[in-house]
Structure 1
Amino acid sequence: MNFTKKLLKITFLGTGTSQGIPMIASNDPVCKSKNPKDKRLRSSILISWDDVTYTVDCGLDFRQQMLREDIQSLNGVFFTHEHADHIGGLDDLRPFCYQLGEMPIYLNKRTLHSLEKRFEYIFNPKFKYPGAPTVKPKIVYKTKFKVDGLEVIPIEVFHGKLPITAYRFQNFAYLTDVKFVEPAEKEKLKNLDVLVVDALRIKPHTTHFNLQEALDFVEELKPKRAYFTHISHKLGFHEEVSKQLPENVFLAYDGLKIEV
């Protein structure tokens, strides 16, 4: 298939880890920071091209993020995996579902099965609540597919032992909650203009890249630019960490907008 390259507009809706920053009941200096860039909602992005807009994940802060960015319409959601910080805003798709009638959601089978259990009142016709969002699941495998004229390439990555789905849109790739990527899947990440990947903290973690692992991953793949996301307060202050990064590597922050 031939695709005309499109201008992608990316908004970082949230760049924090599962508990966000500030974390509840924490007196860590980063959690007390007055810098807006140190205040992070749960990780998600908005991606737009032509006249369509999608999100990757809709977590627990989804409603707040949509209101902050004044999003008036949404065409669908790409889900990475089933953890609460990535799917907890599913019910807040309702206003957009009312517009569309039916919201396409792209996800792997495991994530769909989890959603069907957690949100039975959405997925099970027998228990469907009248005001619940109406969604249309589209199962994602390892092969590329087309969405509204754009080629999308799924990449399987591992969040600890859990296989989850990352996505490449043209020369932009979004990987969150990643600890390991098999060589065959890394091939899908070559020649990127922009790579987004998690960098949870300074110390090693069992299911996420720490800062050094994220830097090594960028060095291996050599994208033109890289942005780190899914950040905890244990990474440090935004301004201090940013000064230590290579010139083409940046810490993302909530509300950041880029074009690819």
Structure 2
Amino acid sequence: MGCGSSSGTPALGCSCPTCVSDNPKNRRTRCSAYIRIDELGLLIDTGPDLRQQALREGLTRVDAVLYTHPHADHLNGIDDLRAFCYVKRGPIDLLGNSFTMDNIRARFGYGLMPASPSWDKPVLVPHDVEGPLSFSGLKLTPIPLKHGHWPCSGWRIGDMAWLTDVSDIPEESLALLDGVRLLFLDCLRDTPYFSHLSFAQALDWAARIGAQRTVLIHMTHELEFTALSARCPAGVEVGFDGLQLDFNVNF
């Protein structure tokens, strides 16, 4: 859906080469993903660009949202879930760690109430998730991560893992990534940052995890698509908005 950082690219007021580029792969909305398995539709995060992303990709169904953490660029599009509730005439499950779910309960309580006859608000059901679970017969595994001082969740489904907003991966979480073949990995910029991976750090973690294919996500405008692609080693590539990939859910 999106592979940009909290500011998106182009960044407001910026005229750097990436922001003025005519390469569509340098236009990045806020970081999120949509996972389709048969008729099931799952979102990872609801950033402020959700409506735009959903229209671009033709999305009409969301059964659950897998949240990573409650920063605005990953959460504040939550109200746009009301359109999906309206279409299905049913609630949407929210899955995430207790830190994230408590934040949603405190800030978006109006969306956690029973449906009205007009379905004019989102109808959401939060679930605190601290370990692997089954959703509609699908195994979902949250991956505990460090995002600066915040506890963030990556997500693994089959042989795919989505790790955004990462500054460190605890040793016990690495074991949950054994056998991952498709890895989406945080890569904010070249310069180190306290709550994200730099390009060099992302390459180090990619090598350590050992996925066959690693896609870099959550990038600022400091990273230009073509130039960064030329610096990537074999097995690592630069993500872009609208990228579609297949993975094995039964791994």
TM-score, length basis structure 1: 0.90
Tell me the equivalent position of 2:4. 16
- Identity between Structure 1 and Structure 2 (%): 34
Matched, 1:232 2:220: yes
Shift of 1:124: 6.0
* Distance in 2 between residues matched to 1:196 and 1:74, nearest whole Å: 21
Matched, 1:40 2:60: no
* Distance in 2 between residues matched to 1:219 and 1:101, nearest whole Å: 42
Structure 2 gaps of 5+ residues are none
Tell me the equivalent position of 2:41. 53
Tell me the equivalent position of 1:253. 240
Question: In the comparison of the two structures, how many residue pairs are matched?
Answer: 243
Matched, 1:113 2:102: yes
Residue type at the aligned position of 1:14: G
Shift of 1:60: 0.3
Tell me the equivalent position of 1:10. none
Instruction: For 1:1-260, list aligned pairs within 5 A.
Output: 13-98=1-86, 99-123=88-112, 131-141=120-130, 143-235=131-223, 237-260=224-247
Shift of 1:117: 2.2
Residue type at the aligned position of 2:168: F
* Partner SS state of residue 167, structure 1: strand
* Partner SS state of residue 68, structure 1: helix
Q: Give CA-to-partner distance per residue, 1:142-171, whole Å, 9 cap, x none.
A: x21111222111110000111111110011
Residue type at the aligned position of 1:24: L
* Distance in 1 between residues matched to 2:89 and 2:68, nearest whole Å: 22
Tell me the equivalent position of 1:8. none
Cα–Cα, structure 1 residues 130 and 215, in superposed 2: closer, same or farther, change >3 Å?
Answer: same
Shift of 1:130: 6.5
Residue type at the aligned position of 1:18: S
The list of structure 1 runs, each at least 4 consecutive aligned residues, that deviate by more than 4 angstroms after superposition, is: none
* Distance in 2 between residues matched to 1:246 and 1:170, nearest whole Å: 25
Cα–Cα, structure 1 residues 130 and 100, in superposed 2: closer, same or farther, change >3 Å?
Answer: closer
Shift of 1:172: 0.3
Tell me if the contact between 1:53 and 1:74 (Cα under 8 Å) persists in the aligned partners: yes
Q: Give CA-to-partner distance per residue, 1:218-238, whole Å, 9 cap, x none.
A: 111111110000000112x10
Cα RMSD after superposing both structures: 1.4
* Partner SS state of residue 200, structure 2: helix
Tell me the equivalent position of 1:9. none
* Distance in 1 between residues matched to 2:113 and 2:45, nearest whole Å: 21
Tell me if the contact between 1:79 and 1:105 (Cα under 8 Å) persists in the aligned partners: yes
* Distance in 1 between residues matched to 2:246 and 2:162, nearest whole Å: 14
TM-score, length basis structure 2: 0.93
Judge which range, 222-231 or 70-79, deviates more. Answer: 70-79
* Partner SS state of residue 77, structure 1: strand
Residue type at the aligned position of 1:210: S
* Distance in 2 between residues matched to 1:103 and 1:150, nearest whole Å: 16
Tell me if the contact between 2:99 and 2:151 (Cα under 8 Å) persists in the aligned partners: no
